[in-house]
Structure 1
């Protein structure tokens, strides 16, 4: 189990310089040392400069080392009570279940209430919603698109590069793009985001990693822990983490909108009645 600050560092690893990467690895491996020592002691320990440490702290979103150290301490305290219990890896039922629990808790650690509320508000206020998905994120994105249509929202799913490019002409300042991608550096993602930004389209990103260079292209950014961090990365995908985020956003929408909540209830009633079999046919 890892704290929110450590997870944030991991999500930015692909953007680090050699020096920043070395600092990040020391922080990940020795958080207690970082918390209990000064920047001078830390710089000497890592064999780097204080300026490099401050630049690292700013890159991951903190004003300086002291702010970073406080956040790291608070984040670690939050997770002190949650420790990885001894799991028998020969018991796959227990082993894989533990992986799910760990990744979902890590996902929650990266979320904050304001971002979720901003996401829910952006969805309900948009005239047209476009959901861009790539590879295995398309399955979970289709489910979310269906749930949004259940409450009467206009949603279009984009899965092909050409389809996405053609859709730009149908976007405007009343539109919302939700990009659900394994990585922000996935092919064509950044050029596509750059193009729609020119049309003042509101954008929301769900990704398994982060990059400060896209901050100007994104209005709402939600980072999930990547499945490669799991004990069973060949089995686990990013879908459970994305699904959890979508469900929290959806729950927020229904909580804050009585009319949309009633539409969901009506939709569920229709679906359930449509799927129900005639019980008389099965009476013996």
Structure 2
């Protein structure tokens, strides 16, 4: 069990001295992870044996074992131990979310490489079949959104969020097909494997991901999306707004390259919506 999960479960049963030690772990993690047993005891105003007993209560064999487990906690993320206090007033939450979304859009606009966008649009506009891959909550959504944007332009496109299916689709792909993969972390090993296989078979691969990551290195073309997230663990990631903007940019470029096909397909779709759902064509196109 994680040390801090154990502290949360047993906190109500702690003695006053044990609670002081727990407070130091939660509020002064950098000090606690580097402190000796004497330094921790002095800071908590307890004796070293009390610290030892506290460690054993948490399931550690000794103070040394406790320090090893404590150090491992840092790999999970210190910001999750004592999250920064934020205003929960609706007006402040709304401002925080919208401001971060605006920042993400501003930053991606500044960092996009027009030459790469042009190459990506060229590959997609000429692809016989487009495979959109993404796994996990955000990347799955991006893969589905790419399919949603491109099918209405006349492109043959399918999305998959299953690793095994992605691998099989890659193995079955033809040389004039295109594989587009989304990975927010850039550490999706299964996606990188698909890219490597596709490139061995001469199939174009495009990555929407962080620059310099395994997924980026495995792809032929990379649209780097490098947006800092900040320390608010409760706010949904604003990076996804940057990914969505990139999808819209790429889809627009594909539409302009395949203008005749896109126009005909869009008109066919709108005709069906007007006949069966809308009284006129002023509504959004099926969104």
Checking the alignment, whether the CA contact within 8 Å between 2:120 and 2:206 is kept in structure 1 is yes
In the alignment, is residue 144 of structure 1 matched against residue 149 of structure 2? no
- Aligned counterpart, 1:170: 172
Is 2:189–2:215's contact at 8 Å kept on the other side of the alignment? no
CA contact under 8 A between 2:171 and 2:198: conserved in structure 1?
A: no
Q: CA deviation at 1:261?
A: 3.3
Aligned pair in 2 of structure 1 residues 163, 214: CA closer, same or farther (>3 Å)?
closer
Which residue matches 2:223?
A: 222
- Which residue matches 2:194? 192
Q: CA RMSD in A?
A: 2.6
- Contact between 1:96 and 1:232, CA under 8 Å: does it hold in 2? no
Distance 1:273 1:238, change over 3 A: farther
Offset, 1:152: 1.9
For residues 158-211 of structure 1, give each alpha carbon's deviation from its aligned partner in whole angstroms, at most 9, with x where no partner exists: 21111012112321220100011122212322222212211011000001x222
Larger Rg: 1 or 2? 2
Rounded Cα–Cα distance in structure 2 between residues aligned with 1:213 and 1:112: 20
Report the number of matched residues: 190
Higher relative contact order (CA 8 A, sep 6+): 1
Map of 2:277 onto structure 1: 275
Structure 1-normalised TM-score? 0.60
Aligned to 1:241: 242
Which 5+ residue runs of structure 1 have no aligned equivalent? 1-87, 279-284
Residues 131-152 of structure 1 show CA distances to partners (whole Å, capped at 9, x for unaligned) of 1111121123212202211122
- Residue in 2 aligned with 1:156? 158
Normalised by the length of structure 2, the TM-score is: 0.59
The verdict on how the C-alpha distance between 1:213 and 1:149 changes in structure 2, with shifts beyond 3 A counting, is closer
Q: Select the residue among 178, 202, 205 that pairs with 1:203.
A: 205
What are structure 2's unaligned runs of at least 5 residues? 1-86, 281-287
- Closer, same or farther: CA 215–276 of 1 in aligned 2, 3 Å: closer
Tell me the distance in 2 between the aligned counterparts of 1:160 and 1:213: 19
Quick one: distance in 2 between partners of 1:202 and 1:107?
24
Give the Cα–Cα distance (whole angstroms) in 2 for the partners of residues 99 and 195 of structure 1: 37
CA shift at 1:277, angstroms? 7.3
Cα gap change, 1:100 to 1:220, in 2 (>3 Å)? same
Identify the range of structure 1 (218-227 vs 128-137) with the bigger mean alpha-carbon deviation. 218-227
Q: Does structure 1 conserve the Cα–Cα contact (< 8 Å) formed by 2:130 and 2:177? A: yes
- Aligned CA distance change for structure 1 residues 212 and 182 (closer, same or farther; 3 Å): closer
* Kept after mapping to 1: 8 A contact 2:104/2:238: no
Alpha-carbon distance in structure 2 between the residues aligned to 1:214 and 1:100 = 25
Equivalence for 1:6: none
Q: Shift of residue 228 of structure 1?
A: 2.4
Q: Map 1:1-284 to 2 at 5 A.
A: 91-136=92-137, 137-207=139-209, 209-211=210-212, 217-226=218-227, 228-229=229-230, 234-262=235-263, 263-276=265-278
Contact 1:145 1:155 (C-alpha < 8 Å) held by counterparts: yes
